[in-house]
Structure 1
């Protein structure tokens, strides 16, 4: 494996691990902890997901630069593009809606449940699958 795909592979698998740990483990479990109210959980979640998203952007850019410098096979590029596109949709379209709702809840308002949360989770699943496929395809080089 040449350096470009090796760096991209590392970035993709670190990214995947972070998404799995935060989105599918930490996020749902924090609300089960004793004493964690919805506002406290939302406050923690906003901080954690902001950090996750910043890390995701950094890892995505690392992988992107690595594959620009030393392009892998087209299938790995397509799978990586799906992961990157999903992240962009989450950050540009879904996260702002979730932030507006959590702002309302944190201000004491009894805001109705948001469908944007379900969209975000579905996109996390798509992104997770795309990252697995990307990583496996990059390893096969």
Structure 2
């Protein structure tokens, strides 16, 4: 029974973290008095690195829960899609964005790219996938 609870609760916890950090903290920090763009980017880099580690812990726990009690196929698909988005962000987008932050901190303007917007879209997609995963999995257990 606890494994089923985790299958529903972990995606909600993960979604809450993504929403709180990516869609609240990240844009709001630049409005704080005294926060320069360079300082905000440095803070963001640290915060998103920490979030990424927590996301991997949650992803591993979720995978273990899914392996201990196999839910329906749609839940598995949504879980795998969440992991694919997380891996794409971690292995592809984050290194590109981190290099741009380093350039900004050195005072070198980086040429415009689409990577930041793609990261935001990936966060939104991941958030929706996590909510759908929790809902779909919960529906399996409602009798």
TM-score scaled by length of structure 1: 0.95
The offset of 1:136, in angstroms, is: 0.4
Return the alpha-carbon distance in structure 2 between the equivalents of residues 50 and 114 of structure 1.
21
User: How far does the alpha carbon of each residue in 1:74-110 deviate from its partner, in whole angstroms, 9 at most, with x for none?
Assistant: 1111111111110010001100100110011111212
Q: Give 2:71's aligned residue.
A: 72
Structure 2 unaligned residues grouped into runs of 5+: none
The offset of 1:113, in angstroms, is: 3.2
Q: CA RMSD, aligned part only?
A: 1.0
Return the alpha-carbon distance in structure 2 between the equivalents of residues 104 and 114 of structure 1.
14
Return the alpha-carbon distance in structure 1 between the equivalents of residues 23 and 46 of structure 2.
16
Q: Give 2:100's aligned residue.
A: 101
Do 1:9 and 1:63's aligned partners in 2 also have CA atoms closer than 8 Å? no
Q: Give 1:6's aligned residue.
A: 5
Give yes or no for the alignment of 1:121 onto 2:111.
no
SS in 2 for 1:31: helix
The offset of 1:47, in angstroms, is: 0.7
Q: Give 2:31's aligned residue.
A: 32
Q: Give 2:45's aligned residue.
A: 46
Return the alpha-carbon distance in structure 1 between the equivalents of residues 9 and 130 of structure 2.
11
The offset of 1:3, in angstroms, is: 2.9
Q: Tell me whether 20-29 or 108-117 shows the greater mean CA deviation.
A: 108-117
Structure 1 unaligned residues grouped into runs of 5+: none
Q: Give 2:82's aligned residue.
A: 83
Where does structure 1 differ by over 4 angstroms across 4 or more consecutive aligned residues? none
The offset of 1:11, in angstroms, is: 1.3
SS in 1 for 2:108: coil
User: How far does the alpha carbon of each residue in 1:47-81 deviate from its partner, in whole angstroms, 9 at most, with x for none?
Assistant: 10011000000001000010011111111111111
